[in-house]
Every structure is written in structure tokens, then in C-alpha cells.
Amino acid sequence: MLAGTGLGLVIGVLLGLLGGGGSILAVPALVYGAGVPLSAAVPMSLLVVAISSAAALLPRLRHGQVAWRIAGVFGAAGAGAAFAGAAVNRLLDPRVVLVGFAVIMAVAAVRMLREQTAEGGDCALPGGGVNWRGCLPKAIGSGLVVGFLTGLFGVGGGFLIIPALVLLLGLPMTVAVGTSLLVIVINSAAGFAAHAGDTTLDHRLTAAFTLAAIVGSVIAGRVATRLPADRLRRWFAYLVLAVAAFVTVQTLLNPAAVTG
């Protein structure tokens, strides 16, 4: 229980600081840190991420840092794809899921370490407004990919949403973070619904993990604007790479830990 609380706090802090990212560590944290089987870790992770992301979103709503229409398109596409990802998850060996998860983590980390291009694009024109003819296909396509991975791996997808919103859709970073949190809430809720009934959750551990994540996300959200986002993102990328390596080694050498 203590381990779950501490890990939940870390997840919440990362969500509050970066508008995502903490969710990618939730499944490994629950499986290897709290000893939860993968079948239960996936829906538990989605529930925790949905609630803690909603908490982290509140202060950004007050500052108008959400692109509502883009979030709606992105989230609607992802919500449907989350059910497809959950269906594929049930067909795969848990070890295959975790190794695939580690690969996605590594790719995302490398992407975060690369220099970001200048903001601006179809979804955030320099003069203001949105060119939906160019923006809509990108928003739908990005939403489908992120939503599928949400259902497959049990992640909110913020580590993929942020690059998609900034690099593909051209949103400013401050707006991308708030929009990402809203999309994470939508995707995670859909993913949890898709996995509901697959297994019985440990309600005490889930509550402790969730409450700790909420506290971490709210506190981090208040101080996020005072910290250098680029440096935080680089350090987080290194952490994700380390966790990806750990997950791969543990899955290959200690497969019993995956299935409980």
C-alpha cells in the first residue's frame, strides 16, 4: 500500500508538470512496484490517470489553456480506437504487451529528446484561427493512433499527445499541455470502460494510488509555470528510457511477475 501511494504521487507530479508522461510509468509502477498483475494494472492505470489528469486540468481551465474543439475531435477519435486496442490486448500474451509497451516508451523518449520545431501550423495559424481543412485529418489520425495505444497498453497517451499537438497540429506548448490533459481524460475513461469487467481491482490500492496521484498533480500543476519545461522534458525522457530497459529485462527474465 505504501509503495502504491508513493508511486501514485510520482505519477501525479509528472502529469501536473508535463500534461502527460506520468501515465506511461503507471503500468510498470503497478506491475513491478506494487505487484499488481498486468490484467489488473491496465484498467487500474487508466482509472488513476483519468482522475488525476482531470485534477491537473482544473487550474489550466481557469487560464483558458485548452483548445476545446481540437480536443473534442482528437478525443472522440481516440475514444473509439481505445475499444479496438483493448480487444487486441485480450488476444496477446502479457509479455508481448509489456515488451511492445517498452518499445513505445523508448520511441517516445527519443522523440522527446529531439529538438522541437517552431510552433504554428494548420491548427494554430500565426494570425489566429484554425484551418480545419488541413487540421481535421491530422487531428483524427493522431487521435486514432493515441486512442488505440491507450486501450492496448493502458496509458493515457500524453507522451504521444504532446508531440502530436505541438509538432503536427501546431499548438503552443501551454495550450498543448492543457489540451493533452483533456484528451487524456477522454481516452483513459474510454479505455477503462473497454477493460471494465476484465478483472477485479484492489479497491484499497486503487484509492490510495489515485488519491496520491491527485495530490501530486494538483501541487505540480501550481508550480509547473515556474520550472523550465524543456529541461524537465529531457530528464523525463531519460527516465522513460531507463524504465523501458527495466521493463524489457524484467519481462524476459521474470515473466511470472507479469501474470502475478
Residues 6+ apart with CB under 8 A from 142: 74, 77, 161, 164, 165, 168, 169
Average pLDDT, consecutive stretches of 10 residues, N- to C-terminus, the chain (260 residues): 75 74 75 83 86 83 83 89 89 86 83 61 59 80 88 74 78 81 87 79 86 85 70 76 84 66
Distance separating alpha carbons of residues 116 and 77, to the nearest angstrom: 25
Domain boundary assignment for the chain:
2-259
* pTM score: 0.74
What does the pLDDT read at residue 118? 47
Give me 106's grid cell.
523508448
- What is the DSSP code (8-state) at residue 60? H
Distance, C-alpha 68 to centroid of its chain:
18
- Grid coordinates representing 259 are 501474470
Q: Are 246 and 28 in contact (CB under 8 A)?
A: yes
Q: Is 124 helix (H, G, I), strand (E, B) or coil?
A: strand
Residue 116 is predicted with a pLDDT of 55
